[in-house]
Amino acid sequence: MTDTLIGAPPAPPSGKPTPTPGKPAPRARRRRFRELHVHLLLLAALVVAALLPELVTRHDPFELDGLPFVPPNGEFWFGTDEIGRDLYSRVMHGLQISFFSAALAVLVGVVLGSVVGVLSGLRPGGVLDRVLGILTEAVMAVPAVLLALAAITAYGRGAYIAAIAIGIGEATGFARLVRGLVIQSQTLVFVEAARTCGAGPLRVLVRHVVPSVYHPVLSYTAMQFGLAMLAIGSLSYLGFGEAPPSPEWGVLIAGGQKYLVHAWWVAIIPGLALTAVVVLLNRIAFLMQENRR
CATH number for position 249: 1.10.3720.10
The answer to whether residue 172 is domain-embedded is: yes
Q: In the chain, how long is the greatest CA-to-CA distance?
A: 88
40 or 198: which carries more pLDDT confidence? 40
Helix, strand and coil content of the chain, in percent to the nearest 5, comes to: 70, 0, 30
The answer to whether residue 5 is domain-embedded is: no
The answer to whether residue 136 scores a pLDDT higher than 60 is yes
The conformational region for residue 198 under phi > 0 = left, psi -120 to 50 = alpha, else beta, is: left
Instruction: Choose among 175, 184, 180, 185: nearest CA to 206.
Output: 185
Taking residues 76-103, report their average pLDDT.
Answer: 92
Residue 241: domain span: 96-291
Taking residues 33-53, report their average pLDDT.
Answer: 92
Per-chain mean pLDDT for the chain: 84
Instruction: Give helix 249-256 / helix 210-238 axis angle, nearest 10°.
Output: 30
Handedness of CA 20, 22, 23, 27 (dihedral sign): positive
Query: Model confidence over 49-63: pLDDT tens digits?
Result: 999 998 899 888 998
Identity at 149, one-letter amino acid code: L
**Residues near 198 by beta carbon (within 8 Å), at least 6 away in sequence:** none
Say whether pTM exceeds 0.85: no
Identity at 88, one-letter amino acid code: Y
Window from 1-5, 42-46, 135-139 with minimum mean pLDDT: 1-5
The answer to whether residue 277 is domain-embedded is: yes
Q: How many angstroms separate the CA atoms of 90 and 153, rounded?
A: 27
Taking residues 64-74, report their average pLDDT.
Answer: 90
The answer to whether residue 15 is domain-embedded is: no
pLDDT of residue 144: 78
The answer to whether residue 37 is domain-embedded is: no
The answer to whether residue 31 is domain-embedded is: no
The answer to whether residue 2 is domain-embedded is: no
The answer to whether residue 11 scores a pLDDT higher than 80 is no
pLDDT of residue 197: 75
pLDDT of residue 2: 47
pLDDT of residue 12: 52
The answer to whether residue 164 is domain-embedded is: yes
Neighbours of 276 (CB within 10 A): 12
Taking residues 251-275, report their average pLDDT.
Answer: 93
The conformational region for residue 18 under phi > 0 = left, psi -120 to 50 = alpha, else beta, is: beta
Window from 6-20, 41-55, 65-79 with minimum mean pLDDT: 6-20
Instruction: Choose among 210, 218, 163: nearest CA to 186.
Output: 210
The total of structural domains in the chain comes to 1
CB 241 within 8 A of CB 248: yes
